Structure formats: structure tokens, C-alpha cells
Amino acid sequence: MTGTTTPGADVDRRWFKRFGRTGPAETRLFCFHFAGGNAALFRRWPQDLPWYIEPVAVQLPGRADRFTEQPYDRMTPLIDDLIEAIHPLLDRPFAFYGVSMGARVSWALTHALRERQLPLPRALFVAASVAPACDDGQWEWDGRDDGLEGYVREMGGTPVEVLDQPELLAGLLPTLRADLTVLSTHGFHPSTPLDLPVHAFAGTEDPEAHPDRMTDWSRETRAPFSLTPVPGGHFFDDAGRQQVVRAIVDHLT
């Protein structure tokens, strides 16, 4: 594909948020949020990235301005529809950055693009997600005495005003449950690793995706792999976010 494309009539804009960034860029950075989250996670990225890297946040159904849409609970239909939506935006170099569930979605999307012989990302950046090779059928949110709500409270990242309002929390849990089901039912184990760089970001105090558990992302590619430990837990604070942004810029520049 040639030429340039910006979100317009030929792009389903429900899927993509640019948060005010305008003008051409050399590389698009598609950003995928965590389970139960939304594209607003990346609202500040346009001001942190140089002009030649355009962040495009992916918004999955079932949240924010797509709240009335049914969230996906399986990976395959999610990836099929996402490819259709993202295809017009693959007309220039691009990369993927995914957080937690978003890491797995971007990884599965990369494999699907390769299978369809479509353009591939320059690099895959994954954060706060156990490597696929570590999947053993056991999931942190299953079998808890305090249920999914306990998992949400333990992991952090959910605003206090949501946790303290039962009706708001009740509105979040169905989408979160669907998102987590996308992960637990995927069971995808590709026989051929990717051929593009993979860079991982792991919270040093993350009980779910500690750096030791993210090193196995190296098995997902035959190209270079690197890992950056980020101080903190599963959800990076502002200093951690800036560390991630700097590393991505270094890799893409």
C-alpha cells in the first residue's frame, strides 16, 4: 500500500483515538489498553512522543464511548474485526504497544497479519503481561474467594471512586470478565515465532507479570529481544510511563 491515510471516511473511527494529534508522522504507534480499561490510558502520549511517531490508541467495544456495544469474549472474532478496522491505517511504518491484555491482543494481531500476508509492525512492545509460553491454564483471577472484584482491588489501576461506588463497579465487571475470557480461552501456540523485534516492560513489583515471568517473551521471536524493568507494580505510574515512552522512542528512532 502507498500514500498516506488519516482517520476519515474509510476508517472506522470507533476503534481509534488520536487525542488531538494532527499532521503527518513517519511511524504510527498503535496502543492497546489493558483488560477492563479503555483508550484514555494513552491520552497523554501525544504530548510525550516526537512529531514523527503518531500514537493511535485502540478502543475495544464495551467501554467508554463504545459502552453500548457488546465486548468480545473470544480472541479470534476480535482479531478478525480489528484487522478489518486497522487495515486502512497500515499504509506507513507502524509498531504495536500493548499493556497486559493489550500485549496479548497486539501479539495475536501480529500473527494474524503475518498469516494474511499484510504489513507487519516494525516492533512489538509488550508490558505487564506474562509471556504466552508461560500459559498453563491457571489464571490469577480464577478460583478466588473474593471473586473478580477482589482481583480488581488487588491489582490496582482502578480509580478509587469506581471501587467505592457499587453501581460503577458493577458496570465495570461484565466488560472486565469478557476481556479476561478473551485471554483464558485463546490457547494459541504458534509453531513459528515472529521475525520482528520484541521489547518487554515489566514492573519490578508486579505479582502477575514480574520481569522473571516476562523474559520468556524472547521465545516469541527470532529477532532481537530486550526487557526493561520498570519500578512499581502492574500499572505503571507517570514516571514509569515516561520511561516506557523514552524506550519506545529510542527503539523506533
Catalytic positions are: 100
Segment (H or E) for 84: helix 75-86
Beta strand ranges found along 34-154 (DSSP E): 53-58, 94-99, 124-127
Using CA atoms, how far apart are residues 158 and 154, in angstroms rounded to an integer? 10
For residue 115, give the 3-state DSSP assignment. helix
Which neighbouring-strand residues pair with 12?
A: none
Q: What is the CA radius of gyration of the chain?
A: 17
The single-letter code of the amino acid at 128 is A
C-alpha cell read off for 227: 526487557
Instruction: Report the b/e string of 183-203 with b at 16+ CB within 10 A.
Output: beebeeeeeeebebbbbbbbb
62 φ, ψ (degrees, to nearest 5): 95, 10
CB 122 within 8 A of CB 95: yes
Using CA atoms, how far apart are residues 15 and 7, in angstroms rounded to an integer? 10
